[in-house]
Amino acid sequence: MNLALFDFDGTITTADTFTEFIKQTTPKRRKNTGKLVLAPIIVGYKLGFIPAHKARPKVAHYVFKGRSETEVFEEGKRFADHYISTVLRREAIERIQWHKENNDRVIVVSASITPYLSHWCEEYGLELLCSKLEVKNGALTGHYLGADCSRHEKVNRINALLNVSDFNTIYAYGDTLEDHEMLAIADKKYFQWRKIS
């Protein structure tokens, strides 16, 4: 059996779904105050001083802290059904289908979050490793359950789930520096949909 590892944002999609989900689902009052509270983080990220893997958890903490798990995951389902379908990359879906037809094990490995990715992956019959939001007593704490699923954490999650030596060939697909560690463990690597050595 072969293994296929896919990044999500920018690889399976043509857009950054994490940012769009935040924009679409954050309550208006929290969004307005968040523009001020999160401004240093957002500016720092845009200027390259704060890396994405440090910015995402800080934004998620402000946006999700105290919100109902049920409500956010219902919003995630709607987001997956109505938005993600509009930004899917055709060649990615065709490639996923090709792997499934060859009985390969296919896993989405993403720094994006569970509320919408869990639903989307379930719809497509794919396994998922991603950044998880911590829940206590039915409410989101604003913290991640574990680390942001990017860079070396992608490989940590993969190794915790399976033994890569059990597979004949490992394919990996990514589009940013955050995917390089995952691409490094693959036999066949695709960066921004170009095969690399």
What count of Cα atoms within 13 Å lies in the side-chain half-sphere of residue 72?
A: 27
∠138-42-193 over CA atoms, to 5°? 90
DSSP assignment letter at 86: G
Q: Domain of residue 147: give its range.
A: 3-196
pLDDT tens string 152-168 = 999 999 999 999 999 99
Which residues are paired to 172 by β-bridges?
5, 189
* pLDDT tens-digit map of 22-48: 999 999 999 889 888 898 998 999 898
Distance CA 187, CA 160 (A): 19
Residue 66 DSSP symbol: T
Instruction: Mention every residue, 6+ apart, whose C-beta is less than 8 A from residue 11.
Output: 89, 92, 173, 174, 175, 179, 193
Q: What integer pLDDT is reported at residue 153 of this predicted model?
A: 98
CATH number at residue 68: 3.40.50.1000
- The pLDDT tens digits for 76-118 are 999 999 999 999 999 999 999 999 999 999 999 999 999 999 9
Q: How far is CA 85 from CA 12, 81, 119, 176, in A?
A: 11, 6, 12, 22
Percent of all residues in the chain with a pLDDT value above 70, rounded to a whole number: 100
Count of domains observed in the chain = 1
Closest by CA position to 131, among listed 116, 174, 139, 120: 116
For residues 186 and 173, give the distance between their C-alpha atoms in angstroms, rounded to a whole number. 9
